Amino acid sequence: MWTYIFKRVLLLIPTLLGILALTFAIIQFVPGGPVEQMVQQLNHGSQGMAEVSSGGGMHGGRQGLSAEEIDKLKVLYGFDKPPLTRFIDMVGHYVRFDLGDSFFQPKSVTALVIEKLPVSMSLGLWTFFLTYLICIPLGIAKAVRDGSRFDGISSLLILIGYAIPGFVLGVLLLILFGGGSFWALFPLGGMVSDDWDTYSTAQKISDYLWHMVLPITASVVGNFAVMTLLTKNVFLEEIRRQYVYTARAKGLSERRIMWKHVFRNAMIPLITGFPAAFLSAFFTGSLLIETLFSLDGLGLLSYEAVMKRDYPVVMGTLYVFTLMGLLAKLLSDLSYVLVDPRIHFDGER
């Protein structure tokens, strides 16, 4: 097992470097970088000062930046070095988990990620737990009652939820329950109330849950269809296997067959996806959901970094998310072997 893990970790390195190199190369061709944006802002500022000075009867002076000042901006943002040198320096810092500092915010990339992480974790973890806690029992019930009215109605409902985009459902929830045109049962946005610090512990918990009902509902409904139908199909496949007929012929009860035999085998493909889904829940950031419900999380941070060309934030968050994704994939592969003894690392079984 340790040999397999060592080989997989070695494969993570070129994969991670390849993703970073490809993104870094694309960034070099994107117009409107931080130097250009700063030059434009300073030029507009100098033009505005010149207009004010001219209106007051004073000499407007020179407008725009000189070549020396532009070179200083390039040094400030690190664009005075060749792209290859900058990429090597960036990777060297990432090895030490130094993600650098934001170009447009007086904070490090690590501090920004930690600051925005609780919002995305709230959405991600609630979505993860509710999806597993609801979809697995529902999928088992649908498999046992395959072809019944319950199966048909539940399939129709979850497919409707899957077809409705999360942000559209969020708008509908705000109109219905957020003080739009009907009932003002939940707040319009935010993670907690403004005077949250003055509440007791019980009040803080209830206030947090009250604020998160609508965004979590908008985020989680679309995930029900995939997990529920996957659970149903996996259980149906196991129920139709020969060992189930043999157990019935031996006189075992349906309850014993389902929970002692079918459940153990059918849960293998579901459990193996658990590590990846759990890790990704910590870094789940939905731009549309966060914007709609005024939640300042990782999704909004990534979007603003791309729009502002805040390259340290773009590359730093990409590095963290990619590393977590690759580790989650490794954990998923390891869980196959731990859950199913028929699978072996060296492929001999």
Cα-based distances in Å from 59 to 42, 45, 69, 291, 333: 19, 16, 22, 46, 71
Cα-based distances in Å from 47 to 36, 56, 61, 345: 16, 14, 10, 67
Please, are residues 70 and 36 in contact by the beta-carbon 8 Å criterion? Answer: no
Instruction: Catalogue the E-assigned strands of 208-295.
Output: none
- What is the Cα Rg of the chain in Å? 27
204: number of CA atoms within 13 Å, CB side? 6
Q: Report pLDDT for 346.
A: 61
For 154, phi then psi, to 5°, come to -65, -40
Q: Report pLDDT for 343.
A: 67
Q: Report pLDDT for 248.
A: 87
Q: Render 132-183 in DSSP notation, one character per residue.
A: HHHHHHHHHHHHHTTTSHHHHHHHHHHHHHHHS-HHHHHHHHHHHHBSSSS-
Q: Report pLDDT for 44.
A: 66
What pTM value is reported for the model? Answer: 0.74
Tell me the pLDDT of the chain (349 aa) as tens digits: 778 778 888 888 899 899 989 988 888 777 777 777 777 777 665 554 444 444 444 344 445 567 777 777 777 777 778 888 888 988 888 888 888 888 888 889 999 988 888 888 888 888 888 888 999 999 999 998 888 999 999 999 999 988 888 888 888 888 888 776 678 888 887 888 888 888 888 888 998 889 888 888 888 888 888 889 989 999 998 888 888 888 888 888 888 888 888 887 888 777 777 777 777 776 666 778 888 888 888 888 888 888 888 888 888 888 888 888 888 888 877 777 776 666 666 655 4
